[in-house]
Amino acid sequence: MRSMTVYSSIALLVLFMVPLATAATSVEVVFKNPEKFSDASLDSPGYERGADPYVMKELRSYIQKLGERYLPPGQQLQIEIRNIDLAGRYEPWRLNAYEVRYMRDITWPSIDLHYVLKQNGQIVSQADARLIDQLYLQRPGRANRSDRLYSEKAMLSDWFHRQFAGQHQSGLK
């Protein structure tokens, strides 16, 4: 009797989870020619040729979390990042020149991208976008952040909110 109840419960659970799994939100992030990025590539002074895996991994993960937060279940978002210019600059005349990025009013972050948003395989919207944050130094809490990509993540979060808000809201992990 007890095993029958357990099996019935498992069967019901599986039946309810199948539609949830097929309707999940998915976000695909592709970096197009990362070796040519303005600033987030390892081709910058002090690095070897190629893309910075830390920057790409962090931004991909963060964009996927934003997709979970702002997109309703069943939508798919494809983002092709075409250029990244990180906040700040290295100043080669300084000691440890390629270990510290100096933040100035004129060294704001920017990301060029193309996105395609789909629902049930049909394109809902698509566009090219240039994200910039010229006031990145005035963000509240900036001084207390240890995340080296804080400015870029805040800029992406603002863009997601403007572009996709109202469709789906849940906590960002």
Q: The domain spanning residue 128 has which CATH number?
A: 3.40.50
Q: Is the pLDDT of residue 49 over 50?
A: no
Q: What is the pLDDT of residue 22?
A: 47
Answer yes or no: is pLDDT of 116 > 80: yes
For residue 35, name the pLDDT band (cuts at 50, 70, 90): confident
Q: What is the spatial distance between Cα 105 and Cα 66, in angstroms, rounded to a whole number? A: 27
Within a domain: residue 19?
A: no
Q: Which of 28, 27, 50 is nearest to 37 (CA)?
A: 50
Q: How sure is the predictor about 101, in pLDDT bands with cuts at 50, 70 and 90? A: confident
122's enclosing H/E stretch is strand 122-132
State the pLDDT at residue 100: 75
Structure tokens at 169: 């809201």
18 within domain boundaries:
no
Q: Evaluate whether residue 153 is within a structural domain.
A: yes
8 A C-beta contact, residue 106 and residue 100? no
Q: Within a domain: residue 10?
A: no
Helix, coil or strand: residue 15? helix
DSSP annotation of 72 reads: P
- Model pTM score: 0.75
Binning pLDDT at 50, 70 and 90, where does residue 2 land? low
- Report pLDDT for 20: 43
Domain membership of residue 3 (yes or no) is no
Q: How far apart are CA 166 and CA 94, in angstroms?
A: 46
147-173 confidence digits (pLDDT tens): 889 999 999 999 999 999 865 544 444
Q: Is residue 77 part of a domain?
A: yes
Question: Following DSSP, what letter does each residue of 73-121 receive, concatenated?
Answer: TTEEEEEEEEEEE-SSEE-TTSTTTTT-EEP-TT---EEEEEEEEEETT
Residues 6 or more apart in contact with residue 57 via CB below 8 angstroms: none
Q: What is the pLDDT of residue 6?
A: 42
Structural domain count, the chain: 1
Whether residue 50 is predicted with pLDDT greater than 80 in this model: the reply is no
**Helix, strand or coil, per DSSP, at residue 134:** coil
| Average of per-residue pLDDT across 106-129 | 95
Range of the domain at 32: 24-164
The reply to whether 8 falls in a domain is: no
Nearest residue to 44 (alpha-carbon basis) of 92, 9, 114? 92
Interval 119-135 mean pLDDT? 94
Position 88, amino acid = G
For residue 88, is it within any domain? yes
